[in-house]
Structure 1
Amino acid sequence: MKTIDKIYAFIPARGGSKRIPNKNLQLIADKPLIQYTIEVALKSSIFDKVIVSTDDLQIESLSNDLDAEVLRRPPELAQDTSTTIDSVLHFINEYKLNPDDIIILLQPTSPLRNEIHVKEALETFLSGKGSSLVSVTNPEHPPQWNFKVENDYLVPLMDERFIFMRSQDLPETYIPNGAIYISRVSTIVNKKTFYCKDILPYVMSREDSIDIDEALDLKLAEIIIENKDIYG
């Protein structure tokens, strides 16, 4: 098994959001969206620290109330054009992390991800030989059926023979669901990404993979949570 220094949960939660204003504080089943992720991280009991990176005072206050540690994000890392990996690198530098430390990135937009998912994903990462791990799910429709538009006409994105095949006859495919990303500090610093050539997959159901991106996602997540006793 690989040598471990410390394991950190990193929750990126800037205040701005174009599609859903104050998205990370939107209520789902009477609970702010980000609270689901903070509680899952704490409940998993695998982290040396649970860090919330934010530029928002309301998110900071809520995170403190929930016993997460807050890292204030500078304005230049809280813009629409700012990348998540830049906020991770900011965390690494501010906390002076060791190369062998493990960071588990938990985006607050995945309220159906639970502590069992997080622990299983870490076990998969530690038992494998990959440089990183990314949680994935099956897409709703096979990507082989996708089209693009060329000169005003629909054109198959892939070989047109796939269009006439049944989904069960096509290769199984996966898409990142945004719930869990794992890597060591050394890899993140060197690669500036969690997407390495040797990524380990952690497969989650489509139901647990809901990613809050627009208002409809909020409603769908609330329906599932209210009918699924996973948060007590």
Structure 2
Amino acid sequence: MSEAVAIIPARGGSKGILRKNLQRVGGVPLVARAVDAARRCPAIDRVVVTTDDADIAAVAAEWGAEIVERPADLSGDEAGSESALLHALDVLEARRVDAGIVAFLQATSPFLDVDALTTAVQLVRSRRRDSVFSAVETYGFLWRKGGGGAAEAINHDADVRPRRQDRDPHHLETGGFYVLRASGLRAARHRFFGSIGIVEVDPRTAIEIDTLQELETARAVAGLIDRAPDGHGAAIAADAVVTDFDGVHTDDRVRVDQDGIESVAVSRSDGMGVSLLRAAGIPFLILSTEANPVVAARGRKLGVEVRQGAADKAAVLRDWAKGRGIPLSRIAYLGNDVNDLSCLEIVGWPVAVPDAHPLVLSAARVVLDRPGGSGAVRDLAERVLAGRSPATPAGAPRQVHERAADAASDHPTAPLEAS
């Protein structure tokens, strides 16, 4: 039987947002989110990204996509998506791939509904429809500006205001996905042909990113939309763990006694988590901007490497990863405040404690349940260990955001470490 192939056009150029397809939402590049959605769809047999950009190709390949190199004449601002789809079909045909159905996915729609995509593919495969697109139901009264700027009613009579229950809904394309019979696409050279069907999606997911404001909105709501329905998620497939100290190993508070001596609290549960990671051979680094000796003391207690006094944390992280031969995409970094953003933005697994700064929460791919100083590091450790279990697939996650189970902890006291 012919294959259902997801094709994701993702060119490198973009006028509205620089390097748009590599921008992160929920801690994951947009092109990777599209690849992940396609791979999670049981009706899709193959996932292809067509791009003119080497960086996009590298990210897409890492997430499990097959790459089609898109020629320059099909990558400009004037080139239509259909031209990229048809070129990809020609390349796949040369690779002896029998693509009977094309699922055209837009990387700029970060919250693709996998269940709806599955339904759309089934509609085309069963031959009930030739072309299917994602849409949201709307009862809105639509208007347009006519001559001289005067308003003109489009889908209703201006002098009639029927109740919602007395009206038929209209449907608005989301731009998220289009599922097409490949032979019909080749003949029509357009995404709409033959018997056209609609698959409704949740309006919350109908965000299409063309502007910086839309990107900011998507980042703000990602934690709510991405979260697994049962409140829990898949394991973290990381090869190394790097954490901030204050607000992560501690509860971000300072205790001062009558002699002016300051101290912070840490968790024995976190210590056990680090011990388990070490036993599994997983590299662990504490990376702090401050030079207070408590960081080194805690590192010695845990038996892990410490880099502190780091003015440029991202540069130190890059150097450490390079020295160990670990790709940044395979590192889990746990942070809580704005000085962690530079690290969160370059690793494959940006992780935040639940009481982190809003910008950190927005940048995170995983938000833990346990706060700093109360089992957050243990929580992360257990997820990374689960990610290395033979029962857990390596690579891209089943859910982009995750919530952790509770972990008990206690709070012995250690000297101060500034944030």
Question: Letter of the aligned partner of 2:169 in structure 1?
Answer: E
**Which residue does the alignment assign to 2:122?**
123
C-alpha displacement of 1:155 = 3.1
CA distance in 1, matches of 2:99, 2:6: 15
1:159-188 Cα distance to aligned partner (Å, 9 max, x none): 543664444443200011111211121100
Equivalent AA in structure 2 for residue 8 of structure 1: V
Letter in 1 for 2:200: V
Cα distance between partner residues in 2 of 1:166 and 1:201: 24
- Name the Cα RMSD after superposition: 2.2
Q: Which has the higher mean CA deviation after the structures are superposed, 130-139 or 148-157?
A: 148-157
Structure 1, unpaired ranges of 5+: none
Amino acid at match of 2:36: E
> SS where residue 205 of structure 2 aligns?
coil
Call closer, same or farther: CA 1:191–1:162 in 2, change over 3 Å: farther
Tell me the TM-score normalized by structure 2.
0.51
The match for 1:148 is 145
Alpha carbons 2:51, 2:67 under 8 Å: kept: yes
Amino acid at match of 1:172: P
**TM-score calculated relative to the size of structure 1:** 0.88
Contact 1:183 1:194 in 2 (8 A): yes
Structure 1 match to 2:108: 109
- The structure with the larger Rg is 2
Q: How many residues align?
A: 227
Equivalent residue letter for 2:137: N
List gaps (5 residues or longer) in structure 2: 229-398, 403-419
2:90 to 89, 93, 97: 93
Q: Is the 8 A contact 2:49 2:67 kept in 1?
A: yes
Q: Measured at CA, do residues 26 and 98 of structure 1 come closer, stay the same or move farther in structure 2, by a change above 3 Å?
A: closer
Is 1:135 aligned to 2:134, yes or no? yes
In the other structure, the counterpart of 1:83 is: 80
1:121 CA displacement: 2.0
Matched with 2:217 is 220
CA distance, structure 2, for counterparts of residue 162 and residue 183 of structure 1: 40
Residue 43 of structure 1 contacts residue 115 of structure 1 at CA under 8 Å; is this kept in 2? Answer: yes
Please, which moves more after superposition, 85-94 or 118-127? 118-127
Equivalent AA in structure 2 for residue 77 of structure 1:
L
Inter-CA distance 35–169: structure 2 relative to 1 (3 Å threshold): same
Q: Deviations over 1:103-158 (max 9, x none)?
A: 1111111111143232222223334522111111124x62x431323134333345
Equivalent position of 1:33 in the other structure: 30
Which of 69, 72, 77 is the matching residue for 2:69? 72
Counterpart of 1:54? 51
Find the residue that maps to 1:210 and give its secondary structure.
Answer: coil
**Counterpart of 1:221 in structure 2: which amino acid?**
A
1:31 Cα deviation after fit: 1.3
Change (3 A) 1:98 1:43: closer
Greater length-normalized contact order (CA 8 Å, ≥ 6 residues apart): 1
1: CA distance, partners of 2:183 / 2:97: 8
**Equivalent-residue separation in structure 2 for 1:9 and 1:224 (angstroms):** 26
Q: 1:166 to 1:197 in 2, by over 3 A?
A: farther
Q: Which amino acid in structure 2 is aligned with residue 59 of structure 1?
A: I
1:190 and 2:187 are equivalent in the alignment: yes
Change (3 A) 1:220 1:162: farther
Contact 1:99 1:185 in 2 (8 A): no
* Equivalent residue, structure 2, for 1:210: 207
Quote the sequence identity (%).
Answer: 25
Deviations 1:29-59 (A, max 9, x none): 2211111111111122433321000011110
Q: Is 92-101 or 166-175 further displaced after alignment?
A: 92-101
Separation (CA, whole Å) in 1 of partners of 2:159 and 2:173: 22
